[in-house]
Structure 1
């Protein structure tokens, strides 16, 4: 929008008519004081400002405008009948004006200058947008680098932990073998096996994240019995965690189209997390049912829970809750992998949680995605 400031109504009318005829949106003010009030409320691309006005003259208006953040990028063209007065022209430029036009105004020259300033404004705005986008991208590269470095550090630590334990148990096993203590050997072998399993899970997650990044995470989709998978996982997880009572709430789901191994991976991850982050709880609840055409699966625990802020980020890559990172091990990629798997099944993942009251992680997937798309 263009603001014309002139105390002569006939000048305003003629300028406004020409500019509007050429497609420009125009606002007017008949005094410097009125112009300042409008500039405080609106943004203008260009101000055509008469120099010689009673009360506040054009120079004073321009000098005042220079302190307004709203008018920081606004161009000013001065109008004056005193074109030969070099002092006036000099003062105009020093007051913040970018150009000067003598009265009577040559409308062709005015239009040419207005179009030029509009083009400069558009180019400047585009350049600012590019700079803003570039700054955001640079900050995103920096953040990505920081997260990557942090992840490498965490991964190294997490991989070393089971490896150190395995080495320690093997040394203890050697001593037990010398003493022929079979019972102790069995116990320590079981502990070694647990650490090896932890190592396998960590390596599997690392491989999955690499496949996701390279677009090579493969799926073998076919129809499978979800109820059978649900029962099998519940049984295995209960046997592996006898200290926790796993309460199963299931309704007949039937056959589901998807990668059974990958869906099992998500379900096991949710259950494992529920047990891991509920160290003082005695039970967790599993639920599976149909919601319309979608399968709904959830795991409810009564553990530490999390804030709304963490719930919004918990499925992001490399995200770990700082308050729990020292207490609970993990790479911060398990739930990200789960989200990728479920989204590749045209489904959604989510969580409901309250600090100190536990969490409920869930996913939904279409039982028959081909039928759903028809």
Structure 2
């Protein structure tokens, strides 16, 4: 193992040598130096993935097994039964999201596109609906909205776009201290809509930002481990790019992070806000 440069990343090499000559005399040696850095990194990521996924699956499975055992072995009143069943349902939903994320990233790695159900989408309403559960589960955080009501509609899959917003909001809450403000803003830029989600959390270094949209990458940005498989941003990038948009971020260590994404405006006749508010909600409700 050697360092490529002071403070740089280590590189790994396999060195093999063989003598050259005849039975009576060795006239030299042949040395083969093989760069094993990529293989070493793949093996490290594979091990890390197995450990991470196992941990993420174990947490909801433990809750499901525990509460189901209580329901089947104890006599409980109706109120406690309902509460435990709700907890089992929530943990099963968490398991389902992990599995869906793994399937999505498998599509990304194989180059297969997502199956998008495109329709006119009112982003202001979609973001409000995605945000509602966060207001309940993260009451210590303040959510400021700016410019969303003035946005024109875009064309996209509301289920997938809600998935992007949920991933980005989850990261903003996860890496921000309680009591901080998370700002969601929207504006029209040329023929696209730009959405930004800004937090005042711990931020990231330039080195961490280079790999942030890679599958299974989790920035080591604190002294306490954050839960997650490390797929949210990679999946979000896949969804946004397959909608014809772009996603990027700006971050400063100990100052916070802002994630931006753009989506093309709806082509053709642009329906009114009232029309986009009455679009079918089936997939959006699935996402929420």
Classify the TM-score, shorter chain: 0.7 to 0.9
Deviation of 1:279 after TM superposition, in Å, equals 4.3
Contact 2:140 2:179 (C-alpha < 8 Å) held by counterparts: no
Match of 2:83 in 1: 187
Q: Deviations over 1:107-142 (max 9, x none)?
A: xxxxxxxxxxxxxxxxxxxxxxxx99xx56x53344
Task: Report which of the two has the higher share of strand.
Answer: 2
Match of 2:134 in 1: 237
Give the one of 236, 246, 253 matched to 1:348: 246
Task: Report which of the two has the higher share of helix.
Answer: 1
Deviation of 1:157 after TM superposition, in Å, equals 2.0
Deviation of 1:326 after TM superposition, in Å, equals 5.4
Provide closer, same or farther for how the CA distance between residues 324 and 196 of structure 1 changes in structure 2, counting only shifts above 3 A.
farther
Q: Distance in 2 between matches of 1:223 and 1:274?
A: 27
Q: Secondary structure at the match of 2:96?
A: helix
Larger deviation, residues 262-271 vs 286-295: 286-295
Provide closer, same or farther for how the CA distance between residues 282 and 181 of structure 1 changes in structure 2, counting only shifts above 3 A.
farther
Match of 1:246 in 2: 143
Deviation of 1:328 after TM superposition, in Å, equals 1.0
1:227 aligns with 2:124: yes
Give the one of 192, 209, 214 matched to 2:110: 214
Q: Deviations over 1:10-68 (max 9, x none)?
A: xxxxxxxxxxxxxxxxxxxxxxxxxxxxxxxxxxxxxxxxxxxxxxxxxxxxxxxxxxx
Match of 1:81 in 2: none
Contact 1:223 1:258 (C-alpha < 8 Å) held by counterparts: yes
Q: Distance in 2 between matches of 1:325 and 1:209?
A: 28
Q: Secondary structure at the match of 1:298?
A: strand
Contact 1:162 1:199 (C-alpha < 8 Å) held by counterparts: yes
Q: Distance in 1 between matches of 2:80 and 2:145?
A: 36
Deviation of 1:282 after TM superposition, in Å, equals 4.0
Structure 2 gap segments, 5+ residues each = 1-31, 270-288
Structure 1 gap segments, 5+ residues each = 1-130
Q: Distance in 2 between matches of 1:302 and 1:183?
A: 40
Give the one of 226, 237, 256 matched to 1:328: 226
Deviation of 1:358 after TM superposition, in Å, equals 2.3
Give the TM-score normalised by the residue count of structure 2. Answer: 0.72
Mapping 1:38-187, distance limit 5 Å? 139-174=37-72, 177-178=74-75, 180-187=76-83
Larger deviation, residues 313-322 vs 225-234: 225-234
Give the structure with higher Rg (CA).
1
How many residue pairs match? The answer is 236
Deviation of 1:281 after TM superposition, in Å, equals 3.1
Structure ranking higher on relative contact order (CA contacts 8 Å, 6+ apart): 2
Q: Deviations over 1:93-118 (max 9, x none)?
A: xxxxxxxxxxxxxxxxxxxxxxxxxx
1:265 aligns with 2:144: no
Match of 2:100 in 1: 204
- TM-align CA RMSD: 2.7
